[in-house]
Structure 1
């Protein structure tokens, strides 16, 4: 018999005494935990408690491809005080505590993501069984939203799998795959989806288990099993965490505080601290900005390139150029978009290198047991190569990733128009050449578009989709959909030199070079911007990207956008000395010795004629460089290069690692106050000239006391 209780939960009882409790949030594609479910679950548990015929409960999801994807984050925005957020945490703790201490066993039957509150719900059950599907993953990603597991996760996870493994999962937010979850001890069994419920029911019939703390071996016995060992372990963890976060993110510190206080066991004190710090973190500006990013990217996933214009279905992709970018584009096309990619290069070695790029990445997954060898072979079979345009006739889109040379790119457009079908889209992965120039001689300019990836393509989440005046709406929507299939977050930007991301990066990089020429040491400049929150400093970034690439982009920007983009002459001196950066082992950093790329090459200073001394503070250096990026972002918005502040923020965070906890350039300007930004720009304008002149949009906003959001 089935009794329907309100909306999200149904209970079905079977003759063997096992009841299946199914969660299926109406109208949503994924299950998320909402505050109002507290009452629903409580009344469900009351009913089960009263029914003496029930011997065990299997908790399952009614969604075809997810267990519970976490708590509904919109609840947090409604909290006005830390106490209200703390109460939410305590409410979750109480419901899960009741489940854990229930008279009959609960078994979580997990298929698809069990993340955040979803995993905490499963941890409160007495057994966990999951499917071997690649969709299934178990994790606590709250730290990525500036939070911590707030429904008992900081207590139950270490008690189940040990301090170090739990610490790693909570501090990184990285999920475990089914086999890993079994190895760590999170789940009791991994089974094919077809038998998930049968196996879960067998566990429910076993009665409640007698769980022992995880067995500790070797060094772990000392590190986790003794108070001195735990002291050493947490001291080391704090040191490593601080070196990564630079003190910019409060959540990891609080996770360690709670874990240290409860010592790897689930304690009353631990639960109290968990709720208290959860409440406190919900109110931090860092968590607010990280949640804003989450909402923005969720919104962007639902959008098409052009409203109301449907994308054309893709079946085959061409890639021109087998270099690092071409290899990366072919890899995400085959592995993420699951589309066959045909790679063309003028040399056989180019094709071989592009193939090796995918092989190495996939083979690593096979070695780590994240992937079966047969799956790897299937993905590799989707990649083929050719020295001419054989096999390109039926491609739907051809992505060009050749050198930054306008004539070469125009030649490629011509080749594709002559060798592919009439509807084939030509997408250029140029980083700076305006798309209108690439399309200048095209017979079908409406099918020419920019699709700018960031390096390394397999890791960087952003793609800029660049439409010139003649690009058709269908081409835009199709390219956006293609980038999404490759696992990218695409932003649509207007054509122009440098597009959006490289355009706002250039003044920032140039100013860092000016600070260097004024005598500040290279490592001091880089440390200032890493402390500010960037993943690498501007000098290190220049070495990584290539000093020659930087020098090539500069004249393109100056020609299109004016003198404020002029790079300091120092670049010429570096290139004359054959310093291209990491790629040729000669740059601002030294690539010989014991620590290649870690120490500055001191000979750079005499080459540039600089006497170094630290005169400026970290804050002064960061302010000078970042203000130019903020000002340029505002100009891009005013000129319609980006569609809205949201796209501008996401583009900068995903494209160049702008500090996520600051929310992106526009959110950051809002938090500083636009009038403060204008005042600081004017201050530097007085010192260093008109490159610091505040954008008109900022001056108007300051006068009218407006903000971007």
Structure 2
């Protein structure tokens, strides 16, 4: 990992992890660093040293897999070893400089913070970050100890609590970079910076320290105010379900005014505590799961990877699909019969790319090149392309008509995909020429932000078609799962009964806002009532009238009629300004006319309790098992991935299947039966749950 080379009396510590695309730090690497530091310190001819990566990125951080195998005592020991080394770098009489290009994450950023000077390239690929909070952890090698001293407490909290990336332009603005340079001159600049620091020609940004204002925010009532505001934001977003942000706040409240040794001790204890928490274990599992789902399981069947996509429909979904496609290297033809829709789509795409320019993620020339990759055509007539992704309104006959026409005109090898959340893909495919190349690609709104892509295969879908759909999705930076065709597929199928149960709770007098509140407390990013308004009440009503609603009715679970009534009134949710809530002047309040839809004397006078939350969660989890039972899902793992990344199922639980595994199958069955006795057959446990219990079968192996 670390190799020392001397050039012009400066030690160049080259980072190059053998057999890996990325540089990560392990215990063995820390041991080898000790030897390098000994050599640099003892050799009087060496003026200082540069950390320089031979890979495309700088340093991705620690090898987290190794930490999972450690006991608490072993974790503390490794933490002390790492801190000892970074302290040694920071305290060295000889200057150390980190030359950062590409991704510098976690331990990489912490190593850089320990150095005396930083050279940062002006590339859009260069980014620093402390993403540990996303794994349920806190930075364990000095991130909470050093970052606030460099960029101030409010800024440090912003980055450590969110785990977001700090791009090169921001690093320059915050004064982290001593030298801001073109990537081709970075090593030369690093060597020169070492010499300038050693000779006293350059006073580092680190030595200059914070402004008077930022120093004031580290103490007394100013610090208390900053920490208090940050805690309020954390609680509003997480409802206290994630311990890592709260532990980070404790560290950053503790450190100012304390010695480095005291601060490090506090950080090590916080990291150790979090690493062995159940929440961190699930988030780390999810991280590795997500990475494993970035591979194409049908790669052997991929030939002639798509390069030119046609997207039909310039509405919200089609616009989003075309935008993420050009942003990831595809040439796209966007078609629609409405010129206004096309102009609006181009405007939205332009604004999306403009924001990337402002954040220095792409250059102005990149912006123009990407925009040139988007061709707009006012038509629905087929154009030559490698794949069609149709994104028109959810109408079966309309989609059949469009895809039939395109399948007859496109090359037989071209992929044909329909973006649908519930319509039967098999019925769409059966009218098409070469139905084996037809499948569903269910994107989630907003496409630019939502990570999941649900790929729906029919009995006739070929592996070649699946390979192409995965290739497109992965290139669009999506987490992909493939599921079998069936009413609602997987995500819509498990979401629909949960939303319907929320409608039933409203009919029982529970307040809309309290239903939202209780589910957010359970860890969902938005409550179910708000979610329906955001999806669109007309969409929900349409799904209830379709095959999914009929399937639930056959199982004794009728769809509540309220969404159909609201649709008839034109109350379509947020997009119309009125739904379950009224949206005026950026404010949201309960629709005053809503109660009347449930009866003349109806009122919302009950606050949702834990039983309401159990009903909504259990009906969703139970439906997940029905999907596994009916082979809609190929395994429990893909069900957890789909629920978390597509629907916001609480990540700290590990997903519906892991949640059931941890709670115990017998306990889940007992709770479902209790709810069934009180609320009828819609809570009938899926037979597969009963089978697992009777056979003593585990969902996952611990």
Residue matched to 1:120: 110
State the Cα distance separating 1:257 from its structure 2 match.
0.8
Instruction: Count the aligned residue pairs.
Output: 692
Q: C-alpha offsets along residues 183-229 of structure 1, whole Å, 9 cap, x if unaligned?
A: 112222221111010000001112355644644366x56434x4221
Q: Could you say if the C-alpha distance between residues 312 and 497 of structure 1 is closer, same or farther in structure 2, counting changes exceeding 3 Å?
A: farther
Q: 2:45 maps to which residue?
A: 53
Matches within 5 A, 1:213-292: 214-216=209-211, 220=214, 222-224=216-218, 226-263=219-256, 267-292=260-285
1:511 CA drift (Å) = 0.7
Contact 2:144–2:251 under 8 Å retained in 1: yes
Q: Tell me if the contact between 1:675 and 1:705 (Cα under 8 Å) persists in the aligned partners.
A: no
Q: 1:628 to 1:221 in 2, by over 3 A?
A: same
- How far off its partner does 1:496 sit? 0.9
1: CA distance, partners of 2:267 / 2:602? 52
Cross-structure match for 2:570: 578
Check whether the contact 2:489–2:632 (CA below 8 A) recurs between aligned residues: yes
C-alpha displacement of 1:113:
0.6
| Distance in 2 of aligned mates of 1:620 and 1:307 | 46
- Are 1:382 and 2:390 an aligned pair? no
Question: Where does 1:284-323 land on structure 2 (aligned, <5 Å)?
Answer: 284-302=277-295, 304-306=296-298, 308-323=300-315
Change (3 A) 1:617 1:586: closer
Instruction: Name the residue aligned to 1:99.
Output: 89
Whether the 8 Å CA contact 2:97–2:116 is kept in 1: the answer is: yes
Q: What is the CA-CA distance between 1:156 and the residue it aligns to?
A: 1.1
Does the 8 Å CA contact 2:167/2:360 hold for their aligned counterparts? no
1:378-527 to 2 correspondences below 5 Å: 378-388=369-379, 393-527=383-517
Give 2:530's match in structure 1, choosing from 527, 533, 540.
540
Residues 407 and 613 from structure 1, CA distance in 2 versus in 1: closer, same or farther, beyond 3 angstroms?
closer
In structure 2, C-alpha distance between the alignment counterparts of 1:99 and 1:289, rounded to whole Å: 34
Q: Deviations over 1:632-689 (max 9, x none)?
A: 1111112221121111111111101111111111111111111110000011111111
SS of equivalent residue, structure 2 residue 197: coil
Alpha carbons 2:337, 2:380 under 8 Å: kept = no
Q: Give the CA deviation at 1:88.
A: 2.2
Match of 2:689 in 1: 698
Deviation (angstroms), 1:599: 1.5
SS in 2 for 1:301: coil
Deviations 1:566-620 (A, max 9, x none): 311222332233211111112010112x443x22112201232263455565321
Conservation of the 8 A alpha-carbon contact between 2:131 and 2:164: yes
Alignment partner, residue 627 of structure 1:
618
Q: Secondary structure at the match of 2:453?
A: strand
Q: Measure the CA separation in 2 of the matches of 1:568 and 1:91.
A: 60
Q: Which residue of 2 aligns with 1:665?
A: 656
Distance 2:245 2:369 in 1: 39
Task: Name the residue aligned to 1:4.
Answer: none
- Structure 1: unaligned runs, 5 residues or longer: 1-7
2:143 maps to which residue?
153
Deviation (angstroms), 1:365: 2.6
Q: Answer whether contact 2:150 2:210 (CA < 8 A) is retained.
A: no
Kindly indicate whether the alpha-carbon contact (under 8 Å) linking 1:496 and 1:560 is maintained by their aligned counterparts in 2: no
TM-score for both structures, normalised by structure 2: 0.96
Taking the aligned partners of 1:335 and 1:583, their CA distance within structure 2 comes to 27
Distance 1:364 1:45, change over 3 A: same
- Cα deviation, residue 505, structure 1: 0.4
1:453-477 deviation line (CA, Å, top 9, x unaligned)? 0000000000011110111110101
Change (3 A) 1:307 1:377: closer
The answer to whether the 8 A contact 1:162-1:214 is kept is no
Q: Deviations over 1:83-141 (max 9, x none)?
A: 32222222211111111112311111111110001111111111111222222110000
From 114, 119, 127, give the equivalent of 1:129.
119
Shift in Å, 1:153: 1.0
Deviations 1:310-352 (A, max 9, x none): 253222110000101010000001012x111001101111211
Partner of 1:243, secondary structure, is helix
User: Which range is displaced more, 205-214 or 464-473?
Assistant: 205-214
Q: 3-state DSSP class of the match of 1:603?
A: coil
Where does structure 2 lack aligned partners over 5 or more consecutive residues?
none
Q: Which whole-Å CA distance do the structure 1 matches of 2:514 and 2:549 have between them?
A: 28
Distance 1:604 1:261, change over 3 A: same
Whether contact under 8 Å (1:674, 1:702) holds in the other structure is: yes
After the TM superposition, which of the residue ranges 348-357 and 431-440 deviates more from structure 2?
Answer: 348-357
Cross-structure match for 2:79? 89
User: For 1:243 and 1:560, how far apart are their aligned partners in 2?
Assistant: 38
Residues 568 and 267 (structure 1 numbering): CA distance in 2 closer, same or farther, change over 3 Å? same
SS at match of 2:166: coil
Match of 1:611 in 2: 602
More deviation in 356-365 or 451-460? 356-365
**Does the CA contact (< 8 Å) of 2:500 and 2:559 recur in 1?**
yes
Counterpart in the other structure of 1:3: none
* Contact kept? 1:156, 1:265, Cα under 8 Å: no
Is 527-536 or 697-706 further displaced after alignment? 697-706
Which residue of structure 2 aligns with residue 5 of structure 1? none
Report if the CA contact (8 A) 1:107-1:203 is conserved: yes
